[in-house]
Amino acid sequence: MVDVGGKPVVERTAVAEGTVIVSASVRRLVRTGAAKKGHPLEIARIAGIQAAKRTVDLIPLCHPLALSYIDVQVKEARTGYRVTATVRLAGKTGVEMEALTAVSVAALTIYDMLKAADKAMTIEGIRLVSKTKSQGDTQGRT
């Protein structure tokens, strides 16, 4: 791992997104609550939150982080579902991998829950949208 011991503790935020492309008939299936495995969008949201918390276990050499905020949103889009994750902490390293992992696992969860209904489904465009850090040192804040 990279040594971040000398870096200041600052507020850091990362936002990532991705899209799950599904057919119109599958979107109707989800909208009406008829998906066989349950409500895929809510389960995907929870899966994404869990994934952000477990990134250190999935990606070699990632730092274990005490995340202070995780938000995963799954919204219907014209061609499927847009997944967006926002992750925040006060720390010495960024949270890009946590945000990207949250989006990836949420998208994979949607795929898993709907794969029987749509053989042509795809996951596309997983990317980091933004990352920010405050300029002030937050050492000592609770």
Extended beta strands in 1-57, E state: 10-21
Tell me how far apart the alpha carbons of residues 28 and 45 are, in angstroms, rounded to a whole number: 19
Catalytic residue among 3, 57, 112, 137: 112
Contact by Cβ (8 Å): 55, 62: yes
Q: Check if 112 is active-site.
A: yes
Are 118 and 34 in contact by the 8 Å Cβ rule? The answer is no
d(Cα 109, Cα 106) in Å, to the nearest integer? 5
Best CA proximity match to 71, nearest among 54, 96, 88: 88
Active site positions, annotated: 112
